[in-house]
């Protein structure tokens, strides 16, 4: 989903050492807050609180062809649905951080989950495009802030090496939502109708809200026992500090904007692309029941339009935790960002200029989508002072969403104007080239600033 669909945040609050201290036998029960099982049950529910929003984020892209027909519109309108989300996210990230600070992570996360449900429900009910756009705005305001809250929850309950594990697990849970969206929504729409397909997305947002509510009960129970510290907002922006950031930070922001703008706006309309250019099936497993059709889609990921689109997401979901661990051990963050940005250029050009199977290009893009996020977000605390990490993350996320508000519309408009896909893919390749320039500049700046990005931890 999007990011702000950020792959990693770092903590701004610490769990008391008592949580991680050795426990007596009497304290080791599942319902003892000081026990490890309790924390990992918390993590399980925390991982699911964004699953519904990730599913709903790409649900409109998964059934784009149907929505174009129903609303008698064009691909630019589908891009606008993503743009409305990102515009809301630009303004919501900072406000979300302040709300978490003032109201606490429990109440704030429930507010955000409520906005996600309301927005997804409005999208599913919408009788017209303007109302659907309004639903995406509400949805985007809640979804991006919910990601901030999820990060604050992980930082509240985990520290040290377990923190990296917790972020890897929450990312996997979120990416499951995206993976299932691309591989089930068109199938559901073809069998039961497009509106029930969108209501399924809203229903999963309700399920995520319920998981969030269970987390709040468990956290409320544990707080007086463990004397938990208040969770910080994480992404709250302090504007007075922005002018003090070094050039390396701004190069990292440039990489972030160009990289994600070449990934998410592309996947938003990719199923239609693969269907039109390569004739891949939009709803596979014809003649099978719904669940058999879902199983068919997953086992034929390399031959269906939705499946090929989800290759990038599947790679990220499976490999991101391992990539993060690898980067911690070997360093070379700036170098790996150069490699990741470089990979995007031929991948997009092959998709736009040739009829070679898109599977190879999508695997290459998947590799880039593993490498760059695993490097860029953990790099931020290494190139800014610790006291302004929250500001650095918040500003990067806001600027990132500015890019994500422009390129979905540009992608749809180019496809409608040219009646083809070459221009869009050249645009995405150009973004990859821009990211490559920023990566090289970051590598040089890091060398001048002491090489912290290239060193292993």
Q: Which two tokens stand for residue 93?
A: 């990230």
CA 260, 119, 204, 377 torsion: positive or negative? positive
Extended beta strands in 357-450, E state: none
Number of residues assigned to the chain: 457
pLDDT at 19: 40
pLDDT at 182: 84
pLDDT at 316: 78
Q: State how far the Cα of 27 lies from the Cα of 20, in Å rounded to an integer.
A: 12
pLDDT at 216: 92
Residue 456 lies in a domain: no
CATH code of the domain in which 22 resides: 1.20.1250.20
pLDDT at 425: 96
Nearest to 4 by CA among 393, 435, 412, 308: 393
Nearest to 146 by CA among 56, 39, 258, 220: 56
Residue 282 lies in a domain: yes
Residue 8 lies in a domain: no
pLDDT at 128: 94
pLDDT at 379: 84
Beta bridge partners of 304: 281
Residue 453 lies in a domain: no
Residue 454 lies in a domain: no
pLDDT tens, position by position, for the chain (457 residues)?
Answer: 554 445 544 444 444 344 444 333 344 456 677 778 888 899 889 889 999 999 999 999 889 889 999 999 988 898 899 999 988 988 887 677 677 767 788 898 999 999 999 999 999 999 999 999 999 999 999 998 888 788 778 777 876 556 656 776 787 788 888 888 888 888 888 888 999 999 999 999 999 999 999 999 998 888 888 877 655 555 566 667 777 888 999 999 999 999 999 999 998 888 889 989 998 887 666 666 666 777 777 777 888 888 898 898 888 777 776 776 777 778 888 999 999 999 999 999 999 999 999 999 999 999 998 889 888 877 888 888 877 776 777 788 888 888 888 898 899 889 889 988 999 999 999 999 999 999 999 999 999 988 888 887 6
Residue 2 lies in a domain: no
Residue 5 lies in a domain: no
Tokens 């903590």 belong to: 11
H or E element that contains 4: none
Q: Yes or no: say if 262 and 428 are a contact pair by the CB < 8 Å rule.
A: yes
Q: State how far the Cα of 319 lies from the Cα of 369, in Å rounded to an integer.
A: 10
DSSP string for residues in 129-150: HHHHHHHHHHHHHHHHHHHHHH
Max Cα-Cα span within the chain: 69
Q: What is the DSSP letter of 304?
A: B
pLDDT at 170: 80
Residue 422 lies in a domain: yes
Buried b vs exposed e over 216-230: b needs ≥16 C-beta within 10 Å?
bebbeebbeebebee
Q: Yes or no: say if 380 and 389 are a contact pair by the CB < 8 Å rule.
A: yes
Instruction: Give me the number of domains the chain comprises.
Output: 1
150-178 pLDDT tens trace: 877 877 787 655 665 677 678 778 888 88
pLDDT at 137: 95
Q: State how far the Cα of 442 lies from the Cα of 86, in Å rounded to an integer.
A: 26
pLDDT at 330: 82
∠ Cα 212 213 219 (to 5°): 85
33-74 pLDDT tens trace: 777 888 889 988 988 999 999 999 999 988 988 999 999 998
CA 327, 89, 394, 222 torsion: positive or negative? negative
Q: State how far the Cα of 302 lies from the Cα of 281, in Å rounded to an integer.
A: 11
Q: What is the DSSP letter of 240?
A: G
Domain containing 368 equals 17-448
pLDDT at 21: 42
């Amino acid at each position: 989903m999007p990011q702000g669909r950020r792959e990693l945040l770092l903590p701004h609050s610490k769990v008391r050492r008592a949580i991680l201290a050795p426990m007596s036998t009497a304290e080791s029960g599942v319902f003892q807050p000081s026990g490890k099982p309790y924390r990992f049950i918390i993590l399980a529910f925390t991982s699911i609180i964004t699953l519904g929003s990730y599913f709903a984020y790409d649900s409109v892209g998964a059934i784009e062809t149907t929505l174009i027909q129903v609303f008698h519109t064009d691909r630019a309108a589908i891009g606008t649905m993503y743009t409305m989300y990102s515009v809301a996210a630009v303004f919501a990230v900072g406000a979300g951080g302040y709300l978490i600070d003032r109201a606490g992570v429990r109440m704030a996360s429930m507010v955000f989950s409520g906005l996600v449900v309301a927005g997804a429900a409005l999208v599913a009910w919408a009788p017209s495009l303007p109302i659907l756009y309004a639903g995406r705005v509400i949805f985007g305001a809640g979804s991006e802030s919910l990601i901030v809250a999820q990060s604050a929850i992980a930082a509240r309950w985990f520290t040290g090496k377990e923190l990296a594990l917790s972020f890897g697990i929450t990312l996997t849970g979120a990416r499951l939502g995206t993976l299932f969206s691309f591989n089930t929504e068109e199938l559901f729409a073809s069998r039961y109708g497009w509106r029930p397909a969108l209501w399924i997305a809203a229903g999963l947002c309700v399920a995520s809200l319920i998981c969030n509510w269970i987390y709040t009960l468990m956290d409320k129970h544990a707080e007086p026992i463990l004397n938990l510290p208040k969770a910080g907002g994480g992404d709250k922006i302090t504007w007075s500090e922005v002018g003090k950031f070094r050039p390396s930070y701004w190069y990292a922001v440039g990489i972030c904007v160009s990289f994600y703008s070449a990934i998410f706006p592309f996947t938003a309309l990719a199923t239609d692309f693969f269907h039109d250019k390569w004739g891949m099936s939009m709803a596979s497993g014809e003649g099978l029941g719904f669940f058999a059709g879902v199983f068919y889609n997953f086992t034929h990921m390399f031959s269906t339009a939705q499946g090929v689109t989800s290759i990038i997401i599947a790679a990220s979901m499976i490999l991101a935790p391992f990539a993060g661990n690898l980067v911690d051990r070997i360093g070379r963050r700036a170098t790996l960002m150069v490699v990741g940005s470089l990979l995007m250029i031929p991948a997009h050009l092959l998709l736009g200029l040739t009829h070679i199977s898109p599977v190879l290009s999508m695997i290459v893009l998947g590799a880039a989508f593993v490498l760059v996020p695993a490097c860029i977000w953990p790099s931020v605390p290494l190139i800014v002072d610790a006291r302004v990490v929250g500001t650095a993350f918040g500003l990067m996320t806001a600027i990132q969403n500015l890019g994500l508000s422009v390129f979905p519309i540009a992608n749809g408009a180019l496809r409608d104007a040219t009646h083809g896909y070459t221009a869009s893919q050249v645009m995405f390749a150009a973004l990859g080239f821009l990211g490559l320039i920023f990566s090289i500049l970051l590598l040089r700046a890091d060398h001048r600033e002491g090489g912290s990005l290239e060193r292993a931890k």
